[in-house]
Amino acid sequence: MKYAVILPDGAADEPVETLGGKTPLESARKPHMDWIASHGRQGRVVTVPARFSPGSDVATLSLFGYDPATDHPGRAPLEAAGRGITIHPGEWVFRCNFVTIVDGVMIDFTAGHISQRESDRLIADLNDALRGSNVRFHGGVSYRNLMTAVKNVVADLACTPPHDIPDLPIAEHLPKGRDAEWIRRIMADAGNLLANHDVNTVRRDLGENPATDIWLWGHGRPRDLQPFKDRFGLSGAVIAAVDLVRGIGAAIGLKVIDVPGATGYLDTDYAAKGAAAVTALDNFDFVAVHVEAPDEAGHLGDVRAKVTAIENVDRFVVGPIIERLRPTDHWRILVAPDHPTPVSRRVHTSTPPPFCLAGLHVRPTMEEPFGETAASESGLNVDPGFELMEYFLKAGL
């Protein structure tokens, strides 16, 4: 048996007036996803348990078959695993965004998708400037970075993801709790360094959003997770550009495959990801491919970009994988967005996203294109969401 999972991040949405009341997923031309839905099953999956906020960390962990209630260590520890960063005893790790804050308002949680070269320079200078603060900054991809901090107790600290507060005043969303003062101070000290940094001077001159501040969130410590092979009896690999999904893969023992040209943004090389997945299926029982682009388009509020991203996933990732699998009978394929990122809201929501699956022993139940409406009408609702993986791998076998 071969198993393929495609994770189009944030592809689920809500009806859009300019699309005739359809969602971007329903409006997109996606013949391969529709083929899966009409030759198999579609339904909805509760990827975000009630007490969690709708982050990709929680939702993606659910889709890989792990219960966030017992297995979720925080977003930053998962990203650290993806980068091979060792978290020492007594250390906490935080996600560290470069952001643009103007007059106390979160203008851009990506700092204009700051370039890698600029981000790396800012990280180096932050480490030099705050060397005595028991913190260390770790460069990532563009605006997505990490910070480790020596702190024995972070018992009462609540941090808001910056992508949850676009165009909103930050005052009510700064870190809160008994242990918040020290983290606010680090953010303020970093802001002072960044205010007149050469990188930002050039970005302003070019009309680009400067990295005015850092935003710390998603904190936690590493946690040992049961290897995927021990849990499901399959060898596996993951293909992803973002550190979060790479980190989840590494944490559960999947082979993390690097793909040149995979950026974690709208300009990612979809075809390279699809080709890498096809090759990986020759060597592994299970292959998961994550594509961040639909989520980025949702955060931008760009409906056309989101439709295009979904169509690219279908054409360049889902299509080649189906072509690789179909000559034999022993396979299954699953397409599952982790959560909605509605273009009208520009933030994640907890609404259960749709999924579709097909393959060996999966009997068709409805001949409808893949989308939120059909999935809601299918009668198949997987709750809790971490049970979807076992259903996909084992049901009927």
- Three-class SS state of 189: helix
- Amino acid letter for position 3: Y
Whether the CB-CB separation of 304 and 312 falls below 8 Å is answered with no
Paired sense of beta strands 381-382 and 41-45, if any: parallel
How big is the CA angle at 250 (ends 36 and 111), to the nearest 5 degrees? 85
40: nearest Cα among 394, 370, 397: 370
Rounded Cα distance, 163 and 183, in Å: 19
Domain ranges of the chain: 2-72+224-394, 83-220
5: nearest Cα among 233, 289, 356: 289
Number of Cβ within a 10 Å radius of residue 110:
21
pLDDT in tens, 211-267: 999 999 999 988 899 999 999 999 999 999 999 999 999 999 999 999 999 999 999
119: nearest Cα among 99, 92, 93: 99
209: nearest Cα among 114, 93, 139: 114
Whether the CB-CB separation of 110 and 97 falls below 8 Å is answered with yes
373's CB contacts (< 8 A; 6+ apart) are 23, 26
pLDDT of residue 153 exceeding 80: no
Confidence at residue 269, expressed as pLDDT on a 0 to 100 scale: 98
pLDDT of residue 297 exceeding 80: yes
Confidence at residue 152, expressed as pLDDT on a 0 to 100 scale: 63
CATH for the 2-72+224-394 domain, from 1.10.10.60, 3.40.50.12780, 3.20.20.80, 3.40.720.10:
3.40.720.10
Confidence at residue 326, expressed as pLDDT on a 0 to 100 scale: 95
- What phi-psi label fits residue 379: left (phi over 0), alpha (psi between -120 and 50 degrees) or beta? left
